[in-house]
Amino acid sequence: MRTGPGEPNDRTWQRTSLAGLAGSLAGRRVVAVDGRGASGKTSLARRLAEHTGATVVHSDDVAWNHSRFDWDEQMISGVLTPYLAGTGVHYQPPGWASHGRDGHITVAADAALLIIEGVGVSRRSLVPYLDVAIWVRSDYADAKRRGLERDMAEQGTDHATAERLWDEWEAEEVPFLQDDRPWERADVIVGAVPETPELRYDPSTEVLIGAGPGSYTPPGPTPS
């Protein structure tokens, strides 16, 4: 795996059950699923929510028409503080009304688990609000390939336009992550590794956990 700028490639990988990872989150309140663009964060957050009943809040919604990365105060004041106070969340981020987007981000007051997902959700300023930080480690080139395919499909753009927009995003993502280095604080590192015979796994029931110093201890390997 060729990791992104500044990120080490210091893990070996072990298949384990998705249910086991989800079960390890029992009794927690806020879980962050972080990683580079198109690393597989959204899919992992969705699968964990299916196992745990968690509510998922996407940083892309908080940041919508506001800022690519300068949205942590909005996440804190609009989502994390009211949720942790037990009052529930009913929040319209600043970019919504000014750009004609209706509705609100909502989290029920009695929600047992909140997953926040997106690039930068385990940044330093959010650490005091988190119980678990997950970093999704991806192959740098493979993430770009998948990201371009996703963006062309979702936005209806051609390859040249999608690549230009990706490069504009990456021009801010790379220095942000190099400065913040969230992988160094992660409680769990999950691998989005291109399929090989040795690392073939079923993403609907399994995950790849990165073994290394200070890392989460998985509940056990998935039998072959």
For the chain, 224 residues long, the average pLDDT of each consecutive 10-residue run is 89 90 92 95 95 97 95 98 96 94 96 97 98 94 89 91 93 96 95 73 90 54 43
- The pLDDT of residue 142 is 87
- The pLDDT of residue 201 is 85
- The pLDDT of residue 26 is 87
Q: Which fold has domain 12-211?
A: Rossmann fold (3.40.50)
Give the contacts of 222 (CB within 8 A, at least 6 positions apart): 15, 16, 17, 201, 205, 206
- The pLDDT of residue 2 is 87
Task: Let me know if 88 is exposed, middle or buried by CB neighbors in 10 A (0-12, 13-18, 19+).
Answer: middle
Q: How are beta strands 30-35 and 114-117 bridged, if at all? A: parallel
Cβ atoms of 76 and 129 closer than 8 Å: yes
- The pLDDT of residue 195 is 62
- The pLDDT of residue 221 is 42
- The pLDDT of residue 202 is 87
Distance of CA 101 to the CA centre of its chain: 23
- The pLDDT of residue 51 is 95
Domain ranges for the chain: 12-211
- The pLDDT of residue 200 is 83
φ/ψ of residue 90, rounded to 5: -145, 85
Give the contacts of 209 (CB within 8 A, at least 6 positions apart): 13, 14, 15, 16, 21, 188, 189, 190, 191, 215, 216, 218
pTM: 0.92
- The pLDDT of residue 220 is 45
CA–CA separation, 18 vs 16, rounded Å? 7
- The pLDDT of residue 45 is 97
